Amino acid sequence: MKKYQRLVQQIIDQIALGVWHPGDRLPSLREQVASSGMSLMTVSHAYQMLESQGVIVARPQSGYYVAPQPQARVPQPPEQIRRDEQVDINTYIFDVLQASTDASVVPFGSAFPDPRLFPLAQLNRSLANVSKYANAMSVIENLPPGNEALRHAIARRYAQQGVNVSPEEIVITAGALEALNLSLQAVTEPGDWVIVENPCFYGALQALERLRLKALSVATDAEEGIDLDALAQALNDYPVKACWLMTNAQNPLGFTLSPEKKQKLVALLSQHNVALIEDDVYSELYYGRDKPLPARAWDEQGITLHCSSFSKCLVAGFRIGWVAAGRHARRIQQLQLMSTLSTSSPMQMALVDYLATRRYDAHLRRLRRQLAERKQQAWQALRRHLPAEVRIHRSESGYFLWIELPPGLDAGELGEQALRHQISIAPGRMFSTSDTWHNFFRFNTSWAWGEREEQAAIRLAELIRQAISARTPLSA
Amino acid sequence: MKKYQRLVQQIIDQIALGVWHPGDRLPSLREQVASSGMSLMTVSHAYQMLESQGVIVARPQSGYYVAPQPQARVPQPPEQIRRDEQVDINTYIFDVLQASTDASVVPFGSAFPDPRLFPLAQLNRSLANVSKYANAMSVIENLPPGNEALRHAIARRYAQQGVNVSPEEIVITAGALEALNLSLQAVTEPGDWVIVENPCFYGALQALERLRLKALSVATDAEEGIDLDALAQALNDYPVKACWLMTNAQNPLGFTLSPEKKQKLVALLSQHNVALIEDDVYSELYYGRDKPLPARAWDEQGITLHCSSFSKCLVAGFRIGWVAAGRHARRIQQLQLMSTLSTSSPMQMALVDYLATRRYDAHLRRLRRQLAERKQQAWQALRRHLPAEVRIHRSESGYFLWIELPPGLDAGELGEQALRHQISIAPGRMFSTSDTWHNFFRFNTSWAWGEREEQAAIRLAELIRQAISARTPLSA
């Protein structure tokens, strides 16, 4: 347990013991530094965690207070397993996504990281290089399963983590989204049951809808991830064919599953012989020292189809992703040849060229630092402006915050109002077929925090305050 | 009717009248020139047509003879409408396609035109240009429906033909294959009936299999195209949702539907309110003077989803196609956002850059001339080497010949034997769920005819002769 975590636990224990009551003012940061002997950074980090967990609230120019009604952690969905015979979510998601392509909108709802964080000049140089040596036959060399050098480069990155993936089982795809969709199709038939997280990446719900699959949405905690007991229950009760989930920097919640939990997850699915479609697109966006392993690392039976891409960490526009598909590699190539035929040949070659420069790891280090800084900045600004009743769930990876409005408020309505002010957010209902998350929204922190963002945050705070006041008379 | 067509009809009439009997030697080319007053080219063209129709046979160093058993035109499938509740063809097609990616194989079975016919230097220059002005925001500008300048450029090419297509209804896709697949999915639900040609582009059968659709394969003639009476019957008898067919340079047969037939087709489908998924990927590869119109040109009710691409006429590796989807454009964008998200951004921009050079039309003129020459060369070589019983169906567009082995021979077996000699062909069973075309294969004529091709053709002829002798004792 790290120092700040000890302090977090200590204060939680003190509140439980009645040392501090709801509404009490806690020691200030400086007082706490003096009394604990910890650094300002450690104490500040601990207070942030407590705040993001809803244990304490910050009041600007005043200090930190024990939350008025100490809440439990993120409320669990009313049902641990939600069952949908038919998924029908797509039109809503489409409308929200369309809004985020408008350049005049402040894209807090966007799924993309700020592309200005990517090494454009070097990528363009690689593109220019490809234009020098692409020849008439390149198209054949880049057909499924994809460019051989690229598949080798990807296999070597797995090897760096000690994960053995053969270049032969890798299929290059149009981003992770195609990899995930082909993987799901490879292991299911229409009408099959598939397990997803609740909440989950909306792309999973869209894929289920598109492929006419039935959904079992399993309760997923903002810090601990999927409820393994509920998962086991679902596996026992239904003839499940696949489980699609994110193990690292989950979208939208942000958690990274612990190694123990990844191991248990794989063991459980192996036991039921259920395919694990592991969506690992944020694997490079950890803030800690070491890159977290994929669940695939614990897979001894070959149940995992591990999907990732370069879109979130290097370049989105190239549309290059992959799946390490194990024994399903051939079937996935077949499905690809049937639907998009192949991934663009110059794009694959440009990536090979870029990776050969050996600048990728330096770029990733810089990117991670920038994303961490920007998340901290956005978090501070939001904490400053948003009403104290709004809880901000924060994770140490990726570029999302998961923001919880007071119960009864609707993030979907807030989103519609915000859009009239040229601000987008990603409402919780995009990420679930249940209404559990209607007062949540996902907030993209990857943008440089400038005057435009500051003003947008202030406007968002105003809208939330208005919604709270509009609600109060009714509930009073 | 053109001059050579008059001569063709004249000789057919003479044979019907008994002027010439089966086995009779016809006037030589020179004699015919002298007697008819037509040019050598016209007479030669007429004789080629008669030969490709199986009316006459050429015997090297001897002359032209009336076919021993004057055959009807391409035999119709035993059933005019074939019905498949479930399409299951993919594994076979996949195996054949895999073979054609091996560079050591002579690719007579390939679906691609020779990429050396494409303007590589200019495309690479466009790629290099894009590397100079691609910026961080390009990825957003190229999201579905796709790059605006590209959609405008495509709309202007429709306009040149007098076909009104709005840039707003165009969606840029990963080649025509994605356009066709998304179109089919946009207008159907699993279990729906869809009409395809028999034989048809295997991608249509794969799409039906992938989307769990039921197939009605309607008899299609090598020169006249789909049997409209059978089509009308199918529309009357089944609740058909869509009809996927090729109107220009059909794959594998090669015919281009006449304007009258296109008009009737559209009228018939409109009357039943059935979507027309028009696969028009070879539209630029006509040999005649004018580019043939798509069926879409006669569509007044908006039933057509017109799909095409740059892959067969400019560059295959970029993977850029489109659909002019009319009122289905929004649904297709949704389906694209769900499955591949978007087409590669630099690839779209490179095409915009290339099209702005205004060299495209000059390239297409050169390409058409080269393809016509190469088809003529391949045809001559095959005619020289293949046994007289083998009929070669030839069309004046694209780069395929449709080759008919004597009844009882199996082109699939021939394909397997040929592959052992590093030669690929595309057997007829790839193009149909019925066994009607088992003695046919598709032959790609786009390759420069050199020693390698000549030797491969000789080897193919040997294998066919062996198959004929192996068969004879059994049937005797």
| A140 lies within 8 A of chain B by CB | yes
Of A115, A207, A346, the CB nearest to B317: A346
- pLDDT class for A41, splitting at 50, 70, 90? confident
Token pair recorded at residue B401: 């010949």
B140, B313, B447, best to mutate vs chain A, most A CBs in 10 Å: B140
Per-residue pLDDT, B147: 96
Taking the C-alpha atoms of residue A433 and residue A88, their distance in angstroms, rounded to an integer, is: 8
Which residues 227-286 of B are in CB contact (within 8 Å) with A?
none
Does ipTM top 0.85?
no
Chain A nearest CA to B139, separation (Å): 5
Residue A96 has pLDDT above 80, yes or no: no
Residue A12 has pLDDT above 60, yes or no: yes
Residue type for A228, please? L
Least confident of A35-44, A447-456, B64-73, B174-183: B64-73
Yes or no, beta carbons of A101 and B139 under 8 Å apart:
no
Q: Which residue of A has its CA nearest to B334?
A: A94
Domain at A361-470: CATH code: 3.90.1150.10
Per-residue pLDDT, A285: 98
Q: Where are the domains of chain A?
A: 3-66, 81-87+118-359, 361-470
Average pLDDT, chain A: 91
- pLDDT class for B67, splitting at 50, 70, 90? confident
Q: Which residue of B has its CA nearest to A203?
A: B338
How far from A429 is each of A82, A200, A416, A440, A467, CA to CA, in Å? 14, 10, 13, 8, 18
What backbone torsions phi and psi does residue A427 show, to the nearest 5 degrees?
-65, 150
Token pair recorded at residue B103: 């560079």
Of A139, A210, A316, the CB nearest to B317: A139
| A334 lies within 8 A of chain B by CB | yes
Per-residue pLDDT, B472: 61
B341, B342, B345, B430, best to mutate vs chain A, most A CBs in 10 Å: B341
Cβ-in-10-Å burial (0-12, 13-18, 19+) of B428 comes to buried
Radius of gyration of chain A (CA): 23
Expressed in angstroms, the distance from the first to the final Cα of chain A is 43
Chain B nearest CA to A341, separation (Å): 7
Residue type for A398, please? G
How far from B106 is each of A360, B124, B262, B373, B453, CA to CA, in Å? 39, 27, 36, 19, 7
Yes or no, beta carbons of B142 and A210 under 8 Å apart:
no
* Inter-residue contact A425 to A415 (CB < 8 Å): yes
Token pair recorded at residue B63: 């002359």
| B130 lies within 8 A of chain A by CB | yes
A214 neighbourhood in chain B, CB within 8 Å = none
Residue B54 has pLDDT above 50, yes or no: yes
B212 neighbourhood in chain A, CB within 8 Å = 190
DSSP string for A353-365: HHHHTT-HHHHHH
- pLDDT class for B473, splitting at 50, 70, 90? low
DSSP string for A7-46: HHHHHHHHHHTTSS-TTPBPPPHHHHHHHH---HHHHHHH
Chain A nearest CA to B384, separation (Å): 30
Of A90, A140, A209, the CB nearest to B101: A140
Report the predicted TM-score, pTM, of the whole model to 2 decimal places. 0.82
Residue B130 has pLDDT above 70, yes or no: yes
Yes or no, beta carbons of B137 and A115 under 8 Å apart:
yes
B114 neighbourhood in chain A, CB within 8 Å = 136
> At how many degrees (to 10) do helices B90-99 and A329-339 cross?
90
Taking the C-alpha atoms of residue A212 and residue A219, their distance in angstroms, rounded to an integer, is: 22
| B86 lies within 8 A of chain A by CB | no
Tokens 């006419």: give the residue.
Answer: A212
Yes or no, beta carbons of B334 and A139 under 8 Å apart:
no
Residue B5, classed as helix, strand or coil, is helix
Yes or no, beta carbons of B206 and A175 under 8 Å apart:
no
| A203 lies within 8 A of chain B by CB | yes
- pLDDT class for A253, splitting at 50, 70, 90? very high
Of B130, B334, B340, the CB nearest to A178: B340
Q: Does the domain spanning B3-66 belong to CATH 3.40.50.300?
A: no
A142 neighbourhood in chain B, CB within 8 Å = 317
Per-residue pLDDT, B269: 98
| A90 lies within 8 A of chain B by CB | yes
Q: Quick one: what percent of chain A has pLDDT higher than 90?
A: 70
Residues 6+ away with beta carbon under 8 Å from B471: B406, B408, B409
CA dihedral A205, A210, A215, A221 (to 10 degrees): -10
Chain A nearest CA to B445, separation (Å): 17
Q: What is the pLDDT of residues A438-467, one digit of tens each?
A: 999 999 999 999 999 999 999 999 999 999
Cβ-in-10-Å burial (0-12, 13-18, 19+) of A103 comes to exposed
- Smallest CA-to-CA distance from A105 within A447, A440, A404 is with A447
Neighbours of A345 (CB within 10 A): 26
Q: What is the pLDDT of residues A66-75, one digit of tens each?
A: 887 644 444 4
Per-residue pLDDT, A49: 83
CA B246, B252, B256, B257 torsion: positive or negative?
A: negative
Tokens 């009408």: give the residue.
Answer: A191
Tokens 């990603």: give the residue.
Answer: A426
CATH top-level class for B81-87+118-359?
Answer: alpha beta
Least confident of A149-158, A280-289, B72-81: B72-81
Per-residue pLDDT, A71: 46
Residues B106-131: what's their mean pLDDT? 94
Least confident of A233-242, A310-319, B10-19, B71-80: B71-80
Q: What is the pLDDT of residues B158-212, one digit of tens each?
A: 999 999 999 999 999 999 999 999 999 999 998 999 999 999 999 999 999 889 8
| A131 lies within 8 A of chain B by CB | yes
Yes or no, beta carbons of A319 and B134 under 8 Å apart:
no
Residue B78 has pLDDT above 60, yes or no: no
* Inter-residue contact B63 to B28 (CB < 8 Å): yes
Least confident of A399-403, B30-34, B186-190, B262-266: B30-34
How far from B295 is each of A307, B269, B290, B306, CA to CA, in Å? 41, 11, 15, 9
Of B90, B128, B174, the CB nearest to A340: B174
Of B124, B130, B210, the CB nearest to A134: B124
Residue B336, classed as helix, strand or coil, is helix
Q: Which residue of A has its CA nearest to B139?
A: A317
How far from A410 is each of A407, A456, B75, B178, B384, CA to CA, in Å? 8, 19, 66, 37, 77
> At how many degrees (to 10) do helices A411-420 and A451-475 cross?
130
Per-residue pLDDT, A78: 47
Of A101, A127, A333, the CB nearest to B143: A101
Residue A57 has pLDDT above 50, yes or no: yes
Of A128, A139, A346, the CB nearest to B347: A346
A90 neighbourhood in chain B, CB within 8 Å = 334, 338
* Inter-residue contact A120 to A253 (CB < 8 Å): no
What backbone torsions phi and psi does residue A3 show, to the nearest 5 degrees?
-55, -50
Yes or no, beta carbons of A131 and B131 under 8 Å apart:
yes
- B470-475 contacts, C-beta under 8 A, 24 or more apart: B471/B406, B471/B408, B471/B409, B475/B408
Of B210, B316, B334, the CB nearest to A90: B334
Q: Answer with the residue of higher pLDDT: A131 or A19.
A: A131
Average pLDDT, chain B: 91
Instruction: Name the DSSP class of B80.
Output: S
Residues A366-375: what's their mean pLDDT? 97
Neighbours of A119 (CB within 10 A): 19
Least confident of A49-53, A173-177, A380-384, A420-424: A49-53
Instruction: Name the DSSP class of A57.
Output: E
* Inter-residue contact B97 to B110 (CB < 8 Å): no
Per-residue pLDDT, B249: 98
Of B90, B115, B143, the CB nearest to A137: B115
Yes or no, beta carbons of B319 and A345 under 8 Å apart:
yes
| A181 lies within 8 A of chain B by CB | yes
Q: Answer with the residue of higher pLDDT: A1 or B324.
A: B324
Q: Quick one: what percent of chain B has pLDDT higher than 90?
A: 71
Residue A468 has pLDDT above 80, yes or no: yes
